[in-house]
């Protein structure tokens, strides 16, 4: 059930939760969200459930102790404690037993760290209660694979606001007048939304994104995963060079639509219960270079690293050498965040090298040349880096790159005819995936999503997904293991 594309989640947990959530009086809806999220997590990972619960309690107690204080020692201690928790379980999961890696620990740990930093900096205006903090840390739409929503966005939930007919009088000369006016606008918006019609509208809007994400996951990512699995079954050392390149493209598309699909589903569920839409993918393959690509890909993770590691380390404000060091640290941590095996570190280092070259070498070239190379980096080098990301065994990784670039060893046609065979089988899903890389396709959905014809198409898409799920076991979302 912890998988959003699980039929039990779609037809049982989600409808029951929505009914319970909206039947709950407004002031207690955070409690319903908290309890529902704990149930969701416990069903998926009961063994590690105490880890999540313990982390929530400890982080709340530290946040309460730090509120309004300037105790750097205490602040540093909880940040290190959260980081060590993540590192310890990553190592246990890799070198002892995978069951020791709590589901979603990379995501809820980063939410805890960002909350502690924002609380210490006094960026959180009102002191949160336990239920606020607990519901934010473990809310089920995001606890497994993100996105990494900030606490400020959690506070914008329109269904946590009370309907209040009495308007507070605000003194415009008050130094906090702007902040109070902004809060009143949110409250007034909540008053309009927090009724039966507003609830149905929120659920409808969320369902649209949920169905599109479900389609990306079930009809694209899961079928592309079959091609990648077939290549692994053949053996990386035995595939032809054309099939190796097809595999790199297929895995890149699989990862993209798996994670973008999940992000849309998570954002859709969040919208159903009153949270703002969280943009986690913003058409990354239209980027002009790799640096821009990673501002658009998994945007909440990128902004987290920017705000809580890169900028506090000095960002690009302390000279080129310090900037290079900061970038290297960020990408090493990014690699480790995804996994502790060597391939993830190599992946992080490879991205760092590409961004370094773009930042310090490409800018010396003529503008047109730089633009062309930047696009080549996105469309060619990014899929190659995903191969590093995908294959943890160093020998198998070397075999795959020898097939991609067959300058040594066997020739290009180790298994002649495998490319045509697999292309013939998978061309519909590959073509669909490539078409969805065109930004205008999704923009068309965004523009006309409320039109009746799109509603009919989404209904057809939903039942196509259900039919596919009912005839296959389905693949868990790839980012569950991170």
Q: How many CB atoms lie within 10 A of CB 182?
A: 10
Among residues 112, 206, 114, which one has the least CA distance to residue 159? 206
Residue 181 included in any domain? no
Domain boundary, last residue among 157, 183, 214: 157
- Token code pair at residue 254: 């699989």
Q: Which range is least confidently modeled, 121-130, 402-411, 415-424? A: 402-411
* 148 and 219 part of one domain: no
Domain boundary, last residue among 157, 192, 221: 157
Residue 177 included in any domain? no
Local structure of residue 92 (DSSP, 8 states): H
* 109 and 211 part of one domain: no
What is the rounded distance in angstroms from the CA atom of residue 135 to the CA atom of residue 102? Answer: 18
Residues 6+ apart with CB under 8 A from 451: none
Domain boundary, last residue among 157, 187, 218: 157
Residue 193 included in any domain? no
* 450 and 374 part of one domain: yes
Over residues 423-447, the pLDDT tens digits come to: 999 999 999 999 999 999 999 999 9
Residue 386 included in any domain? yes
Residue 184 included in any domain? no
What is the rounded distance in angstroms from the CA atom of residue 352 to the CA atom of residue 332? Answer: 8
Q: How many domains does the chain have?
A: 2
Average pLDDT, the chain: 89
Residue 172 included in any domain? no
3-state SS class at 171: coil
Please report, to the nearest 10 degrees, the dihedral formed by the alpha carbons of residues 198, 200, 206, 210 taken in order: 180
Residues 6+ apart with CB under 8 A from 114: 148, 150, 151, 304, 307, 308
300 contacts 146 by C-beta, under 8 angstroms: yes
Residue 231 included in any domain? yes
Over residues 151-200, the pLDDT tens digits come to: 999 999 999 876 543 334 444 455 555 555 555 555 555 555 568 888 99
180 contacts 429 by C-beta, under 8 angstroms: no
Question: How high is the pLDDT of residue 162?
Answer: 64
Over residues 265-305, the pLDDT tens digits come to: 999 999 999 999 999 999 999 999 999 999 999 999 999 99
* pTM, full prediction: 0.89
Per the structure, the complete domain to which residue 106 belongs is given by 7-157
241 contacts 187 by C-beta, under 8 angstroms: no
Q: How many CB atoms lie within 10 A of CB 447?
A: 11
Residue 162 included in any domain? no
* 12 and 78 part of one domain: yes
* 120 and 263 part of one domain: no
């Amino acid at each position: 059930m912890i998988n959003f594309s699980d039929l039990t989640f779609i037809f049982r947990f989600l409808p029951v939760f929505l009914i319970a959530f909206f039947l709950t009086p407004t002031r207690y809806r955070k409690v319903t969200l908290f309890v529902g999220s704990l149930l969701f997590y416990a069903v998926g990972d009961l063994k590690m459930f105490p880890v999540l619960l313990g982390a929530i309690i400890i982080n709340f107690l530290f946040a309460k102790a730090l509120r309004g204080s300037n105790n750097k020692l205490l602040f540093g201690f909880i940040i290190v404690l959260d980081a060590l928790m993540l590192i310890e379980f990553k190592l246990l999961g890799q070198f002892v037993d995978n069951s020791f890696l709590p589901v979603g620990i990379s995501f809820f740990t980063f939410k805890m760290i960002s909350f502690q930093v924002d609380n210490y900096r006094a960026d959180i205006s009102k002191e949160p209660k336990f239920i606020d903090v607990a519901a934010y840390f473990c809310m089920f739409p995001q606890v497994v694979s993100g996105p990494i929503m900030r606490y400020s966005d959690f506070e914008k939930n329109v269904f946590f606001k009370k309907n209040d007919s009495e308007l507070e009088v605000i003194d415009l000369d008050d130094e906090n007048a702007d902040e109070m006016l902004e809060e009143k606008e949110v409250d007034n918006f909540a008053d309009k939304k927090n009724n039966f019609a507003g609830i149905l509208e929120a659920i409808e809007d969320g369902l649209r994104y949920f169905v599109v994400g479900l389609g990306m996951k079930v009809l694209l990512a899961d079928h592309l995963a079959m091609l990648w699995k077939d290549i692994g079954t053949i053996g990386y050392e035995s595939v032809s060079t054309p099939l190796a390149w097809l595999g790199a493209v297929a895995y890149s598309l699989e990862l993209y639509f798996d994670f973008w699909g999940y992000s849309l589903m998570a954002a859709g569920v969040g919208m159903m219960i009153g949270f703002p839409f969280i943009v986690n993918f913003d058409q990354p393959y239209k980027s002009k270079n790799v640096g821009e690509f990673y501002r658009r890909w998994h945007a909440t993770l990128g902004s987290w690293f920017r705000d809580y590691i890169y900028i506090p380390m000095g960002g690009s404000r302390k000279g080129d050498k310090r900037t290079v060091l900061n970038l290297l640290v960020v990408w090493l941590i990014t690699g480790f965040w995804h996994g502790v095996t060597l391939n993830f570190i190599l992946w992080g280092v490879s991205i760092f090298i590409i961004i370094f070259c773009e930042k310090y070498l490409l800018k010396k070239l003529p503008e047109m040349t730089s633009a062309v190379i930047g696009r080549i980096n996105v469309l060619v080098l990014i899929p190659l880096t995903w191969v590093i990301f995908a294959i943890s065994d160093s020998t198998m990784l070397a075999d795959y790159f020898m097939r991609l670039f067959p300058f040594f060893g066997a020739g290009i046609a180790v298994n002649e005819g495998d490319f045509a065979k697999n292309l013939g089988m998978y061309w519909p899903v590959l073509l669909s995936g490539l078409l969805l890389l065109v930004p205008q396709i999704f923009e068309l959905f965004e523009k006309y999503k409320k039109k009746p014809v799109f509603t009919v198409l989404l209904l057809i898409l939903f039942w196509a997904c259900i039919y596919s799920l009912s005839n296959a076991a389905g693949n868990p979302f790839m980012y569950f293991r991170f």
